[in-house]
Amino acid sequence: MLAYSDQAKSSVQLLEEYVASNPTAEGKKLVFSGVGNRDVYNICAPFMDQGEPVIAGRVEDRNKESSEVMFFVERQGVWVPRNGAPVFALQDPFFTFIGDELVFGGVEVYFDNEDPDYVTSWRTVFYRGFSVGGLQPFAKGPLTMKDIRLIELENGRIGVFTRPMMVEGARALIGYVEITSLDELTEETISGARLLRGQFLREEWGGANEAHLLRGGLIGVLGHIAWMEEHNIRHYYPMVFAFDPAEHRSTPIKLVASRSMFPDGPAKRTDLVDVIFSGGLIRHSDGTASLYTGVSDAEAHMIVIPDPFLEYET
């Protein structure tokens, strides 16, 4: 029987508990080429498009905030831009499949007219199509909301995870709402999602990065939890929980990786060294899972970990 929780733990406490479990997995950097001197990070997990595994990644100059999302295919161990694939002026790509249709999205960022590196606002935008090459825009989220994720449920409905900011005195919370079709994915519906409480301390925040349908109607959520120390130094950790949409309850958050499990490497800025951004997870039949992440806002890595959703299916 699942244990639900309405009592949040701090990121520091969750990290201490995770380190105490003695994780042994080691991550590896993914190699990208064909983008000049730009970094590729905050990738999604590979997905099949026209019979070929494809990764979408955020491509960005180290000293800039404006970015593009490009699609990559693997050639002899190196991920290279896919010929003819569209390029989007977005950040932090994600995908899911609703029926036979690919739903792709990312964060659209708005900059000050006089300072091209000063971000004034952002929102999540969505595209749909039956292949990467056929993607067309169809929906957008409210301003300042990232981490909106979709999942097709067993009954054909669509679950929508949201992440409103500065709500009920908290920096950000996760919300959930269901719709019957993609046509119902509107700003109003997203803004009206029911909140999941008791997941984060008021001064911390988190969001859903990917949703997996589990046995028994539960949803396994891959996400991140974050906090900020003095001088705006950020700490992001990959986490998971199970959500029961019928009861609108979630299990306690647990971490699944930490920065120390990945090779040393550069960071975009000194305040982003301890940032692991969950991009996506592929579950395997042997009880393991491949977690794809952005690391320090400068690199993309993959790590094989114990499947974190298995315990919710027993």
Mean pLDDT per 10-residue interval, the chain, length 314 residues: 77 97 96 98 98 98 94 98 98 97 97 86 97 98 97 97 91 96 98 95 96 96 96 96 96 97 97 97 98 98 98 90
Instruction: State residue 114's pLDDT score.
Output: 83
Of 275, 285, 168, the C-alpha closest to 227 is: 275
- The answer as to CATH 1.10.150.20 being correct for domain 11-306 is no
Instruction: State residue 1's pLDDT score.
Output: 56
State the Cα–Cα distance between residues 78 and 96, nearest whole angstrom. 24
Instruction: State residue 5's pLDDT score.
Output: 67
Locate the domains of the chain by residue range.
11-306
pTM reported for the whole predicted model = 0.96
Instruction: State residue 168's pLDDT score.
Output: 84
Asked whether the CA dihedral 161, 268, 54, 144 is positive or negative, the reply is positive
